[in-house]
Amino acid sequence: MKLSVILAHPNKQSFNHAIAETAVDSLKQNGHDVVFHDLYDEGFNPVLPWDEIPERAALSPELEAYCGEIAAADGIIIVHPNWWGQPPAILKGWVDRVFRPGVAYQFLEGDKGEGVPIGLLKARAAIVFNTSNTDREREVKAFGDPLETLWKNCIFDLCGVKTFYRRMFSVVVTSSAKQRSKWLEEVQGAVSRYFPANAAKSDVPH
Amino acid sequence: MKLSVILAHPNKQSFNHAIAETAVDSLKQNGHDVVFHDLYDEGFNPVLPWDEIPERAALSPELEAYCGEIAAADGIIIVHPNWWGQPPAILKGWVDRVFRPGVAYQFLEGDKGEGVPIGLLKARAAIVFNTSNTDREREVKAFGDPLETLWKNCIFDLCGVKTFYRRMFSVVVTSSAKQRSKWLEEVQGAVSRYFPANAAKSDVPH
């Protein structure tokens, strides 16, 4: 299977990097092809310009590559910290620019953009790993854990990826090395559950 | 009163621009001081770098100015389209970079960042105007209208702005000129309700 792993965190020493590396290693151990993007390291420009919005817009070769990869992915793994109940801007802009009409979704003919689009992504499953410094109870009670509906419903379900798993690790800032090590074992377990070794594409759990 | 109006849309002919202009005009007619930022026009860089995260980080003069303005604002108005249940990346990054510790919120002494911060913004009210091409029923049922909790709870309430009003205009792409004109009247009405002419700061409705 072809897997895309997308990471958005500005510090290479961060636990987010450790999560992404663990995911990449697990996927490779399971025999999958992995494309890994550290968006900060790549200097991804997250600002969607007006002339890029139309479906038939001319795209830069770099953006074409990002789009081609996500269209071809059998699975997608996203890793980012919870900043204001949302991804860091660099990752929000990756969605704005890469999840394009004709790549990630499509409106029916005659639809001016007000209808319900058809999802185009062929990925069988998406996993989102988050880190947070807010405890679980406050996240749900005070904020409603918006990252769940953002990634599950607003983005992946709309684009046709119906199998979705998300895990938010918290509280990271006060966590022990032992706790973080256990969390990385969880990452490895989840990745291998959804993208097992020698998997036929139909083996992805639903 | 000092008002900050923040707009994020890549097309100057957009209805978002009309909303922002209407808000600015209404505020000026009511005698307020208005600072208006068209983030696309200003080329705002939304990518928060690692070395900018610490509270005592050295900031560029441009970022200092954005921070000083939001700290001094008696009211804040945000205008943006609904992109994936979230603001465009350029605006998400304005929050990431401008709503800083020491400017918008503060942790209590001894808190490593895992606790509940104190809001520092002195703005008495915030208004968010959104545009969308999803009808209201689908927005709530399929997506849970995440922009409401993002702006109200995750951002403004946390930063101490307890009076909050939001209006999402939809479906914009198929709306008539007459409909859009009525929507702009609504904008004017809401702005004047929260930031009336000759208002003492205590006049903001709660």
Given a cut of 90, whether residue A115 has pLDDT beyond it is no
Query: Cβ of A86 and B154 within 8 Å?
Result: yes
Query: Cβ of B112 and A155 within 8 Å?
Result: no
Q: What is the mean pLDDT of residues A129-151?
A: 96
pLDDT digits (tens, 9 = 90+) for A153-203: 999 999 999 999 999 999 999 999 999 999 999 999 999 999 999 766 566
What pLDDT does A145 receive?
A: 97
**Residue B188 Cα, gap to closest chain A Cα (Å):** 26
Please name the residue that has the structure tokens 């560029």. Answer: B60
Given a cut of 80, whether residue A2 has pLDDT beyond it is yes
pTM of the model: 0.96
- Chain B residues at the A interface, defined by Cβ less than 8 Å, are 10-11, 40, 46-50, 53, 83-90, 92-93, 95-96, 99, 112-114, 116, 133-135, 138, 142-144, 146, 149-150, 153-155, 157, 171, 173-174
Given a cut of 90, whether residue A110 has pLDDT beyond it is no
CA distance A157 to A177: 35
CA distance B176 to B178: 5
Given a cut of 80, whether residue A85 has pLDDT beyond it is yes
- Which residue on chain A is closest to B136 by alpha carbon? A114
Given a cut of 80, whether residue A33 has pLDDT beyond it is yes
CA distance A133 to B112: 9
Q: Determine how β-strand B163-170 pairs with β-strand B125-132.
A: parallel
ipTM reported for the complex surpasses 0.90: yes
Q: Are residues A163 and A124 in contact, defined by beta-carbon separation less than 8 angstroms? A: yes
Given a cut of 80, whether residue A138 has pLDDT beyond it is yes
For residue B27, what is the enclosing H or E element? helix B15-29
What pLDDT does B109 receive?
A: 82
- Tell the burial category of A106 from Cβ atoms under 10 Å away from its Cβ (0-12, 13-18, 19+): middle
Query: Cβ of B84 and A155 within 8 Å?
Result: yes
Which of A89, A133, A143 comes nearest B149 by C-beta? A143
Domains, in order of start, for chain B: 2-201 (3.40.50.360)
* Residues forming beta bridges with residue B166, ordered by sequence position: B128
Which of B50, B113, B138 comes nearest A10 by C-beta? B50
Given a cut of 80, whether residue A126 has pLDDT beyond it is yes
Which chain B residues are within 8 Å of A161, Cβ to Cβ?
A: none
**SS3 state at A169:** strand
Nearest to A46 by CA among B60, B39, B45, B16: B45
Query: Cβ of A143 and B154 within 8 Å?
Result: yes
What pLDDT does A111 receive?
A: 84
pLDDT lower than 70: segments of chain B: 199-206
∠B105-B57-A142 over CA atoms, to 5°? 25
Residue A123, C-beta contacts closer than 8 angstroms, at least 6 positions apart = A70, A73, A74, A75, A76, A161
What are residue A116's phi and psi, to 5 degrees? -95, 115
What pLDDT does B73 receive?
A: 98
